[in-house]
Amino acid sequence: MPGLHLDTLEMPAFPWTESELRWSPLPTGMDKIHVTSFQAAGEGLCEEGFRCVSRISKFGTGHWGQVDPGKEEIADDGSAPVYEWGCPFQGEWSENKYESGPGDDQCTDEGDCICIARGSPDMHTELEGGHEKIIGRFETQSGKAHLGHEPQLIHVIPHYWMRTKDGAPFDIDNPHSGLGTVKEFDREEWLLKYKEEAPKIQSALDKLRATIDAEYRAKVQDGGPFVCDGAQSAGQEPSLTKAETQMDLMRIRRFQVLANDCVDMRDTAAKVAGKAEEETFAPSGKSEGGDELKCFKKKDSTECQQLNCYRGFEDQGFLDRLQLLKTQLDSCKPEEDTPLVGVDTNSSQDAAVAASEADKTNELAGKEAGKEVGLEAPEAQKDTAEKGEAATKLPSSGQEQSIGHTSWLAAVVSSFRKESRSRCRDFL
């Protein structure tokens, strides 16, 4: 958040502390205070939809990991200030926070760190030798909130995302193993991580594809009926047990997630690699476990030149088989809604009747509530909808119910009328 530089007034005249001034609106009559963004030490947070960028003329490039205050400053090219994703915060680079102060690893002067919108309708990208720069007029988060956001022409060096396993391979057969984390890296660090992570994701996709295809051919393409566990007749074996069904669904989900990440990695590598040699990985063409990688390789070379994400036209047959298998698996494990209280969800007829009766009761309660409190029908319906709890019966002794006054009144009226009609029938 912005700090305050008190250049005309003496501190003893203030009944407020400096920190209170930094976070509070200025009282009337104190318009001589000069406001800047980074004069006093403090911490700031970018609004949702904005990201923090810091000036390379102050911090240099490579805004990833721990802040290195010894990096060489890089002068702006003169046309517009140059920023890079990430701001210093407590000794590390942060996506949406910054720390201001006098230190070399802090935002000191106005414009050292700013929060910019994550996109702009007026921008373009320049790419040269794998080095990308975004040039545009971005909305910036103003230090003075009452002034709104101010557009500013800047150059931005972006970062790139990658799913990493931090030294461990993907364990496709363990349902409790994670898929790593998606992290943001600057260009140089991303290229280093790519050499390490690309063989892992390729190996995982190779194994998942082989397992899914084998499962389809054994359980669906064999010509026999696909029988869900629990739906088989006496003496009949299910095609897959419930545990096997869950495992296959897990494998399909992981394949889809990793295939999407693979496409993003492949596209990013082609963009940021300055030359073809920087795009290669796995010189032996094998994974850490010694498995042959099904990556794309140049002729007469064992080294992987490009990831195989199984999204090409030659993979359409497999993708069709994956979808057919998933359809069968989904039929064995349909999604279930939360059951209604007091309703047998196994009976579709009971559920339909209950829903119909609930609609009628809610409508009647809304109308009665509107009449009793003197509201028009639309207002009564609005009040009932906002309460979210049109009562269908009075609270019993010892039972706590959280209902509003209007809904309670509607319940009284509804109950009274039902009782009156019942007595009339008995009398007649």
φ/ψ of residue 53, rounded to 5: -130, 150
Please state, in angstroms and rounded to a whole number, the distance separating the CA atoms of residues 283 and 194: 13
Rg (CA), the chain: 32
Separation between Cα atoms, residue 406 and residue 416, nearest integer Å = 15
Give the residue ranges of the chain where pLDDT is below 50: 1-40, 144-147, 345, 347-349, 351-355, 358, 365-409, 412-413, 416, 420-428
Residue 129: its pLDDT value, please? 92
Cα 122 to chain centroid distance, Å, stands at 25
- Residue 359 tokens read as 């609609």
- pTM comes to 0.67
Q: What is the rounded distance in angstroms from the CA atom of residue 178 to the CA atom of residue 167? A: 13
Q: Which CA distances in Å does 42 have to 69, 98, 111, 146?
A: 18, 9, 15, 20
Nearest to 228 by CA among 130, 332, 126: 332
Answer whether 188's CB lies under 8 Å from 160's CB. no
Asked if 297 and 305 count as a contact pair (C-beta separation under 8 A), the reply is: yes
DSSP 237: P
Give the pLDDT of residue 292: 95
The pLDDT value given to residue 341: 56
The pLDDT value given to residue 327: 92
CA distances from 106 to 50, 179, 379 (A): 20, 34, 55
Pairing of strands 82-85, 150-157: parallel
Query: 424 CB contacts (<8 Å, ≥6 apart)?
Result: none
d(CA 282, CA 198): 8
Which pLDDT value is given to residue 390?
Answer: 39
Would strands 123-128 and 3-5 be described as parallel, antiparallel, or unpaired?
unpaired
**What's residue 229's pLDDT?**
85
Within 8 A by CB and 6+ apart from 91, the residues are 66, 67, 105
| The predicted structure's pLDDT at residue 359 | 52
Q: How far apart are the first and last CA of the chain?
A: 77
